[in-house]
Chains A and B, each alone.
Chain A
Amino acid sequence: MSTATTHDAHHEHQPSGIMRWLTTTNHKDIGTLYLLFSLLMFFIGGAMAMIIRAELFQPGLQMVNPDFFNQMTTMHALVMIFGAVMPAFVGLANWLVPMMIGAPDMALPRMNNWSFWILPFAFLMLLATLFMPGGAPAGGWTLYPPLSLQTGMAFPFLIFAIHMMGMSSIMGAINVVVTIFNMRAPGMTFMKMPLFVWTWLITAYLLIATMPVLAGSVTMLLTDKFFNTSFFNAAGGGDPVMFQHIFWFFGHPEVYILILPAFGIVSQIIPTFARKPLFGYSSMVYATASIAFLSFIVWGHHMFTVGMPIKGELFYMYATMLIAVPTGVKVFNWVSTMWKGSMTFETPMLFAVAFVFLFTIGGFSGLMLAITPVDFQYQETYFVVAHFHYVLVTGAIFAIMAAVYYWIPKWTGNMYDEKLGKLHFWISCISVNVLFFPQHFLGLAGMPRRIPDYAVQFTEFNMISSIGGFVFGLSQLMFAYIVFKTIRGGAKATDQVWEGAHGLEWTLPSPPPYHSFTTAPEVK
């Protein structure tokens, strides 16, 4: 059993067994639940990606039919975005925000329990559609009508699953906001908060502002399909393109919801292993805030080919290019933090450094995609697939893995196996590039995304990419093994864990007590 359980023994009346997890209101328990749930979803979504890559290994149809292939691409995206990455960040926030700001727990513990326990039901509903007649949704995670309205029995399940995921995220986000506003220890002013707390605060605002918009847009889809409304039906005076506008008004901030906490994580890890304070703390905060602001006005760049007026195209192009500025500031700050440091390269640092490298590559392809006339060539090709997997896999997911390696000694009181961790890093880092880098070439050569079968000239790069995919997929089993091995035991971790670590969480014992700070620490 996890070490957290041993703490229960000398704590108040806690129910044991399954009831403990069902009724828990403790931020660490809920954080653990979120993280384990996300790991499970990571493997389910990953299995779908394996099916996709296996089918694309060669031209021709080998394993699945085109309809099932579309179900896989749709579900892979939904499961990875809403099931793996977002819950992982919420889990990290649950574990870390109270410890970092010197609070005993989250501000709204019962809502915290609720926001987690909605999720398994949402995903049960979503995954159950795979076994329904007509199969799972196959219209792409972007749900563009009229195509998404052709979904069969799965449609209402999909919409209600999205509603539940949205509610869960909104409640999680509200909890983070309230905790950060009301629960900070004396002396912990906003400009003293660790960057992870800052980026999460801004992410929480993005979530509260955009998840309801997604909920609204899918509700309109639902009433269009079943209740004769015509929001997106041209025949009734609606416009299918309007869905894309509403969807991406949510969708673009969502992209930053998936990456801002990752920025925060990397900004915690690099200073620790460079043994040097973060360069340009306040500019990091301002850059994060400006990215969040800009994210609300650039959504049109997802829709350059729908035929918008030239003024619209120019506006979205310029606004999108502007995002490169604060993002660049962040990268420069991380590099400057490393500069003249005294670096060591334990697993968390390796993942963080790889994040800076590979996220920047994803940023470059993002900049190329911003240029409207050239975007017409890139749009809906594998170049886009390569771009967003560089920012989401080597960006968000590498940051999450870095975070797990970095804080797991604190959470469990045990050191992870450094040798295995490094091996996991190197295999992942190499295979993920074998997986996604060739996809740039495929996209430039004109291979569209979301196709089950392709013209023969794309064969070689697809094979390379699939091989990289299989290795990357398998190597993540190692990650699960390392995590569970660490939970069960290992060398005892000190309170400080890392030589260069700073921050309130490192002043607590490893593992920390059930209620993090029962008396508020004094922050100077």
Chain B
Amino acid sequence: MLVRKLIPWLSRLLGGSLLLAANSAYAEYGLNLPQGVTEISREVYDLHMLIFWICVVIGAVVFGVMLYSIFHHRKSKGAKAAQFHESTTVEIIWTVVPILILVAMAIPATKTLLKMEDVANADITIKITGYQWKWRYDYLDQNFGFYSVLSTPREQIENTADKSEHYLREVDRPLVVPVGTKVRFLITSNDVIHAWGVPDLAIKKDAIPGFINEVWTLIETPGTYRGQCVELCGKDHGYMPVVVEAKSIEDYQLWVGEQQALALASTEDPDKVWTADELMAKGEQVYATNCAACHMAGGEGVPGAFPALKGSKIATGPIADHSNIVLHGKAGTAMAAFAAQLSDSELAAVITYERNAWGNNTGDSIQPSQVKAAR
């Protein structure tokens, strides 16, 4: 009977906290797992709720008995201790009953798992590569790909500007997929282990260097779905969001056309001579996206962890050594090789910028054609 009293109390408690969440500005995230936008994510949600309620019921029974005992079997109420201390029958009962409950849980869980692992017959394949600290998406059949980098401005992170609605969950170029289509993701990594996850799709898979993993999804409703890297991958682990934009098939095809055109257009004239100002302007942008996370916007670095560029021997020394490090990285450190990540002009711009910003006034610059030769 105490159990009967307990259930309304529990649901009041739960209802109360739900109310609390509804009042908050971002009620859509609430207290619970999102139901998501795929058949699988809804199945996962149902499974989660099923197990949750089983736990609540077991908890209500066990805690109910315990609370009853705590209130009634106390010495201050004159309770005399019974001396029973063994019963093989009840031991067997409370071994067998939980096993039956577990079997009942395992059956639907197995079914859902089998469905999740069925990657056959996908229409589109996208390769996802984790980098410290960004994602790259390659559309294998359409021959284009791009990096997807956090777009939240540093000022918001450093609290000098108000935080936007999608603070830390926005990127410069989201992953775009069509709705109603089975999309397969091949996931790998360029350096350390990352994990690609979007709760609305009930996907989470590790990206492991040298190895490939696959998952699939079939999104039903157009929209923007957000997640982030979910395996500790170093300093900026918290700053590599995943944004998936699901578009109707027509919009998706339009978008693919644009991207392919863009990919063609970006093949630039290799022999164009850039002015120092052009290089500096472009270099500042490239630096902010690729370098500022470690070497900091002011080039001062993080003492002990990431060297300063401001006044550094490398950024003010021979230009060949400087470009060598930017192009090929430095073994055994977090300094990555940027040769394959950036274009000739981007590299020329960022190297020039580093040599002339923050009082590093070397006055020299490097042209994209020279970078090409140094590769």
Contacts and interface: CB of A to CB of B under 8 A. Distances in A.
Interface string B300-322: 00111100000000000000000
Interface stretch (A111-119, A207-215, A329-337, A426-434): A329-337
Interface stretch (A30-38, A191-199, A408-416, A438-446): A438-446
B211 A336 contact: no
Contacts of A283: 91
B76 interface: yes
Interface residues of B, number: 102
Given A240-B193, A342-B79, A453-B157, A280 B91 contact: yes
Given A61-B157, A146-B193, A147-B193, A324 B204 contact: no
B209 A240 contact: yes
A342 to B, nearest CB: 4
A310 B110 CA distance: 10
A450 B237 contact: yes
A152 B334 CA distance: 10
A134 B206 contact: no
A274 B167 contact: no
B19 interface: no
Contacts of A317: 106, 109-110, 113
Nearest to B198: A446
A239 interface: yes
A364 B238 CA distance: 28
A493 to B, nearest CB: 20
A503 interface: no
Contacts of B87: 280
Interface stretch (A65-73, A85-93, A247-255, A478-486): A65-73
A380 B238 CA distance: 12
A135 interface: yes
Interface in B284-336: 302-305, 333-334
A18 interface: no
A374 B47 contact: yes
Nearest to B97: A328
A317 B236 CA distance: 32
B235 interface: yes
A336 to B, nearest CB: 7
Interface stretch (B175-183, B226-234, B259-267, B350-358): B226-234
Interface stretch (A101-109, A158-166, A168-176, A352-360): A352-360
B33 A377 contact: yes
A374 B204 contact: no
Interface in A432-487: 441, 444-446, 448, 450-458, 460
Interface string A49-68: 00000000001111001110
A66 B236 contact: yes
Contacts of B303: 133
B163 A59 contact: yes
Contact of B304 (A62, A135, A367): A135
B105 to A, nearest CB: 7
Interface in B44-60: 44, 47-48, 51-52, 55, 58-59
Given A134-B304, A279-B85, A379-B230, A373 B47 contact: yes
B304 A455 contact: no
Interface stretch (A136-144, A417-425, A506-514): A136-144
A489 interface: no
A281 interface: yes
B165 A456 contact: yes
Nearest to B227: A446
Interface string A216-234: 0000000000000000001
A69 to B, nearest CB: 8
Contact of A344 (B59, B74, B114, B203): B74
Contact of B166 (A274, A335, A455): A455
A472 B168 CA distance: 30
28 contacts: A60-B156, A147-B192, A150-B334, A239-B211, A276-B82, A282-B86, A283-B91, A305-B204, A305-B206, A305-B231, A307-B214, A322-B102, A329-B91, A329-B94, A341-B82, A343-B79, A360-B63, A364-B59, A368-B51, A368-B52, A373-B113, A374-B51, A376-B204, A380-B204, A381-B230, A441-B30, A445-B34, A445-B199
Given A240-B209, A450-B232, A457-B24, 5 more contacts: A70-B234, A276-B81, A338-B66, A368-B51, A448-B238
Interface of B: 21, 24-26, 28-34, 43-44, 47-48, 51-52, 55, 58-59, 62-63, 65-66, 69-70, 73-76, 79-87, 90-91, 94-95, 98-99, 102, 105-106, 109-110, 112-114, 116-117, 156-159, 163, 165-169, 191-193, 195, 197, 199, 202-206, 208-211, 213-214, 226-239, 302-305, 333-334
